[in-house]
Amino acid sequence: MAVKQGSLVCVGPGMVLGAHMSERCRNHISQADVVFSSCHPVIEQWISTMNPDVRSLQGLYGKDKDRGQTYTEMQAALMQAVRDGCRVVGVFYGHPGVFAQVPHASIKQAREEGFEAWMEPGISADACLYADMGIDPGAYGYQSFETSQFMFYERVIDPTAYLILWQLGHAGDLSMTPRQTGPKELTVLMNMLLEHYAPNHKIAIYESPFLPTQQPKTAWFSLQELPQAEVSLISTLVIPPGNKLTPNHAIVKQLKSISGA
Ligand SMILES: C[S@@+](CC[C@H](N)C(=O)[O-])C[C@H]1O[C@@H](n2cnc3c(N)ncnc32)[C@H](O)[C@@H]1O
């Protein structure tokens, strides 16, 4: 199929205003025919200084509106501009491909329709978390889940690794609206985690700032205090390993016989 005239690139400005945006991301924004944005309002104001046609997608969210419907409408807005022959840029905060359905789905659709479409990486919330909390994900390994998906499906937890739960503010939300859930859903989550970790196991809620003048927030508390924790829609839950790594003697023995060590 011949590549058609419209194009789509999804970019991420990172988390902190004015601090994380790559040159490539900035160039795509300034050279676009139209820019669609789903970011913090302050970041959207900043992006508006880079291109005369920046359209916020945030207005598509509605109090009791299904988030899936909002994502469909966001994708439709991007795709209509691509079909109109525009160089379209979608700006999604952090990294556009991390816990973000619309950029992945839109790029897939654009390619299926014969348009050029790709993604540029950005600095995500977990990238900030590793830096601010001093966590090396390679030290013990880590598992990363969307909290509600983690609750709705049977997942296998490895308590010797870090466990990172995203979208804690929507924990256990069956309505799929933008509403924030509360202590009752967090109690269900706590009980799930108590099957793997001690009640006094220390866990943390991490929130990266959006402004360079703000400090990162890391609130530590015991697992048994999770239902009362102060949670917002930008909260990420960090659960450090609860168990020590168990050596795999049989495999090490096999490897020794290969290397002769
Ligand atoms: C829809 S995802 C978007 C993630 C984003 N694309 C990224 O690259 O980080 C939203 C979730 O990301 C995490 N998140 C977003 N903003 C954050 C922040 N400022 N600090 C910590 N975590 C954040 C939270 O878990 C939040 O519920």
Q: Give the domain CATH number at 33.
A: 3.40.1010.10
Q: Give, in degrees to the nearest 5, the angle at Cα 145 between 249 and 70.
A: 160
> According to the model, what pLDDT value does residue 4 have?
79
Closest by CA to 159, choosing from 209, 223, 220, is: 223
Same domain assignment for residues 234 and 132 = yes
> Hunting for tokens 């450090």 — which residue is that?
240
Do 33 and 86 contact (CB within 8 A), yes or no? yes
For ligand 1, atom 15, name the residue with the nearest CA: 234
253 occurs within a structural domain: no
Evaluate: CB of 236 within 6 angstroms of ligand 1.
Answer: yes
For ligand 1, atom 17, name the residue with the nearest CA: 234
Same domain assignment for residues 131 and 114 = no
Evaluate: CB of 74 within 6 angstroms of ligand 1.
Answer: no
97 occurs within a structural domain: yes
> According to the model, what pLDDT value does residue 179 have?
83
Evaluate: CB of 125 within 6 angstroms of ligand 1.
Answer: yes
Per-residue pLDDT band at 260 (split at 50, 70, 90): confident
Do 204 and 220 contact (CB within 8 A), yes or no? yes
DSSP annotation of 182 reads -
DSSP annotation of 70 reads H
Q: In this predicted model, what pLDDT tens digit does every residue of 51-99 receive, in sequence order?
A: 999 999 999 999 889 999 999 999 999 999 999 999 999 999 999 999 9
Q: In this predicted model, what pLDDT tens digit does every residue of 133-190 receive, in sequence order?
A: 999 999 999 999 999 999 999 999 999 999 999 999 999 999 888 888 999 999 999 9
Instruction: Give yes or no: 71 in active site.
Output: yes
Same domain assignment for residues 104 and 135 = no
Q: How many domains does the chain have?
A: 2
Q: Is 236 helix (H, G, I), strand (E, B) or coil?
A: strand
Dihedral angle computed from the Cα positions of residues 174, 176, 177 and 179, in that order, rounded to the nearest 10 degrees: 50
Q: Give the sheet arrangement for strand 202-207, strand by strand.
A: 142-146, 162-166, 236-239, 202-207, 217-222
248 occurs within a structural domain: no
- Domain holding 148, by residue range, is 125-239
Same domain assignment for residues 101 and 85 = yes
Same domain assignment for residues 115 and 131 = no
* Dist. CA 125–CA 167, nearest whole Å: 11
> According to the model, what pLDDT value does residue 176 have?
81
Mean pLDDT (the chain) is 96
| Mean pLDDT across 20-31 | 97
pLDDT above 90 coverage of the chain, percent: 93
Q: How far is CA 136 from the centre of its chain?
A: 18
250 occurs within a structural domain: no
57 occurs within a structural domain: yes
**Is pTM beyond 0.85 here?**
yes
Q: Is the pLDDT of residue 1 over 70?
A: no
254 occurs within a structural domain: no
Q: Is the pLDDT of residue 261 over 80?
A: no
Task: Describe the crossing of helices 101-112 and 67-83 by its angle, rounded to 10 degrees.
Answer: 40
Q: How far is CA 239 from the centre of its chain?
A: 17
Instruction: Give yes or no: 67 in active site.
Output: yes
Same domain assignment for residues 151 and 88 = no
Closest by CA to 45, choosing from 33, 60, 58, is: 58
Same domain assignment for residues 87 and 137 = no
Q: In this predicted model, what pLDDT tens digit does every residue of 123-140 receive, in sequence order?
A: 999 999 999 999 999 999
Evaluate: CB of 237 within 6 angstroms of ligand 1.
Answer: no
Instruction: Give yes or no: 162 in active site.
Output: no
Evaluate: CB of 167 within 6 angstroms of ligand 1.
Answer: yes
| Mean pLDDT across 8-27 | 96
Which ligand 1 atom lies nearest to the CA of residue 210?
19
